[in-house]
C-alpha cells in the first residue's frame, strides 16, 4: 500500500515534469470528485506548449493516441505515471529515460495520473514527493535540475488553415517519419536540405542565434526578431512531413482536390527517386559560381573605414558602407570569410546570389532527368 515512506529511488536525480513560471501553471481540475459528481482520476494543469520531462529514472511502457491527443506511460520503479493531452511525444516505447529527459510537449492542458503498485493515488502527493527529493538533493549540492520553458513565439505558416488536421496527422505519423528518416527509408529532398542549410547559414551570419539564454525549449536562443526565420524553416519542415505522408502512406490533407493530390504525389515520388548529378562530383558551388569581390579600405586620413563589393563583374559595384576599423582589420587578417562578410553587409545582393545558384542547380537537375 502507498504511504509517505514509499519513496522513489533514482540514480540520475529527480525533475519536475515541467517548470512552473510565476503562476503560469495552474490546476484547472484537481484529483477526486467534482461538484458535478464526476470523479477525476488525475490532475489537470493549464499549460501551453510546455515541454514534458521524465521525473526520474525509468522506461516508456506505453504510447497511444486518444481524442484528446497523445498519451505516454512511464514506469518509474513501482510508480506508473501517465501523461495525457500531449500535443506530441518525443519518446518511443521501451526507451529508457533519466530525470529531465524530454518525452513530449503539452497542449493547452496536461492530464497526469499516477499509480503505485497498481493502486491509484493523488498525483499531487507523488509530485510533492518528487519536489521534496529535489530540494533535499539541492541542499546537499548533488543535483542541478534542467529548466523547461514554453515556446511562446507565434510562428505563422502557410499551413495555418490546416493546422488542426496536420497536428492530428503528426500525432499518428510523426514518430514513423523520424524513424524512416533515421533508417534511410525516406530521404530528405535535396532542395529542402539546401534551403534549410541556406536559412541556418544566413541566420548564423545575421547573428539570430543566442540572443537570449538557450534552454531545452529554445536551444538556439532565438527571440522575436527570429520569427521570419522560424516561419521559413517551419514551412519547409511541415511541407516535407506532408511529402512523406504522400509517398509512404498515400495520405493527403482533406482540403486538397484530387488533381492536386496527384500532382503532389508525383512531385514527392520524383524527389525521392531523383539522383543528384552533382552529388558525386565533390565540387564546390563555385564550379558554376557568380563572381563576387569585396574590399575594405580607409579614407585618406586613415580614420574612417569602408567596405565595397562587386557582383557579377559589375564595374561600378555596390555603394560603399562605413565599418569599424577593428572589423576591417579582422577581415584583412582573414578572420572573417568573404561570403560571411557579404551576408552581413550586402544581404539583399547575397539573397539574389543564392537564388541564382539554386535556379542553376535546378536547371542542371532537370537536364539530367
Q: Which residues pair with 114 in a beta bridge?
A: 81, 121
> Is residue 120 located within the same domain as residue 183?
no
Q: Provide the domain count of the chain.
A: 3
Q: Is the pLDDT of residue 117 over 80?
A: yes
Contacts of 354 (CB under 8 A, 6+ apart): 198
CA 1 → CA 5, 127, 210, distances in Å? 10, 18, 49
> Is residue 81 located within the same domain as residue 180?
no
In this prediction, residue 264 has a pLDDT band, given cuts at 50, 70 and 90, of low
Which of helix, strand or coil describes residue 322?
A: strand
Residue 266 lies in a domain: yes
Cα(169)–Cα(242) distance, rounded to whole angstroms? 9
Write down the pLDDT at residue 312: 77
Helices and strands (DSSP H and E) totals, the chain? 8, 14
Q: Is the pLDDT of residue 125 over 70?
A: yes
> Is residue 76 located within the same domain as residue 177?
no
> Is residue 106 located within the same domain as residue 207?
no
> Is residue 212 located within the same domain as residue 115?
no
Residue 176 lies in a domain: yes
Residue 145 lies in a domain: no
In this predicted model, what pLDDT tens digit does every residue of 23-67 receive, in sequence order?
Answer: 557 889 999 988 888 999 999 998 877 888 899 999 999 999 888
Boundaries of domain holding 306: 285-348
In this predicted model, what pLDDT tens digit does every residue of 286-340 receive, in sequence order?
Answer: 445 667 888 888 776 667 888 888 887 777 788 889 988 888 878 877 788 888 8
Write down the pLDDT at residue 356: 75
Asked if 182 and 244 touch (Cβ cutoff 8 Å), the reply is no
CA proximity to 314, closest of 293, 296, 288: 293
pTM here is 0.45
Give DSSP secondary structure letters for 128-196. Answer: HHHHHHHHHHHHHT---PPP--B-------TTGGGHHHHHHHHHHHHHHHHHHHHHTSS---HHHHHHH
Cα(279)–Cα(273) distance, rounded to whole angstroms? 14
Residue 357 lies in a domain: no
Residue 178 lies in a domain: yes
Write down the pLDDT at residue 60: 94
CA proximity to 83, closest of 95, 92, 75, 71: 71
Amino acid at each position: 500500500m502507498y504511504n509517505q515512506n514509499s519513496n522513489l529511488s533514482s540514480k540520475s536525480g529527480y525533475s519536475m515534469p515541467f517548470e512552473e513560471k510565476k503562476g503560469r501553471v495552474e490546476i484547472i481540475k484537481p484529483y477526486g470528485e467534482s461538484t458535478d459528481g464526476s470523479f477525476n482520476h488525475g490532475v489537470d494543469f493549464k499549460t501551453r506548449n510546455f515541454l514534458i520531462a521524465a521525473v526520474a529514472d525509468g522506461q516508456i511502457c506505453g504510447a497511444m493516441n486518444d481524442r484528446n491527443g497523445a498519451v505516454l506511460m512511464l514506469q518509474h520503479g513501482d510508480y506508473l505515471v501517465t501523461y495525457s493531452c500531449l500535443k506530441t511525444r518525443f519518446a518511443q516505447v521501451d526507451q529508457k529515460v533519466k530525470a529531465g529527459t524530454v518525452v513530449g510537449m503539452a497542449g493547452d492542458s496536461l492530464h497526469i495520473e499516477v499509480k503505485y503498485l497498481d493502486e491509484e493515488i493523488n498525483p499531487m502527493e507523488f509530485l510533492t514527493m518528487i519536489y521534496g527529493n529535489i530540494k533535499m538533493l539541492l541542499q546537499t549540492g548533488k543535483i542541478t535540475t534542467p529548466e523547461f520553458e514554453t515556446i511562446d513565439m507565434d510562428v505563422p505558416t502557410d499551413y495555418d488553415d490546416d493546422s488542426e488536421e496536420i497536428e492530428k496527422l503528426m500525432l499518428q505519423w510523426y514518430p514513423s517519419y523520424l524513424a524512416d528518416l533515421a533508417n534511410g527509408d525516406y530521404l530528405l529532398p535535396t532542395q529542402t536540405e539546401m534551403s534549410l542549410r541556406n536559412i541556418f547559414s544566413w541566420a548564423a551570419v545575421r547573428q539570430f542565434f543566442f540572443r537570449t539564454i538557450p534552454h531545452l525549449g529554445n536551444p538556439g536562443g532565438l527571440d522575436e526578431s527570429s520569427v521570419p526565420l522560424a516561419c521559413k524553416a517551419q514551412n519547409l519542415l511541415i511541407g516535407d512531413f506532408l511529402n512523406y505522408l504522400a509517398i509512404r502512406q498515400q495520405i493527403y490533407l482533406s482540403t486538397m482536390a484530387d488533381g492536386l493530390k496527384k500532382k503532389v504525389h508525383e512531385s514527392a515520388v520524383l524527389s525521392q527517386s531523383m539522383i543528384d548529378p552533382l552529388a558525386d562530383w565533390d565540387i564546390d558551388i563555385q564550379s558554376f559560381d557568380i563572381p563576387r569581390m569585396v574590399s575594405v579600405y580607409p579614407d585618406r586620413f586613415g580614420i574612417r573605414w569602408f567596405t565595397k563589393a562587386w557582383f557579377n563583374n559589375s564595374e561600378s559595384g555596390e555603394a560603399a558602407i562605413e565599418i569599424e576599423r577593428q572589423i576591417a582589420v579582422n577581415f584583412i587578417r582573414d578572420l572573417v570569410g568573404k561570403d560571411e562578410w557579404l551576408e552581413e553587409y550586402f544581404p539583399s545582393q547575397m539573397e539574389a546570389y543564392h537564388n541564382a545558384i539554386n535556379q542553376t542547380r535546378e536547371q542542371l537537375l532537370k537536364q539530367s532527368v
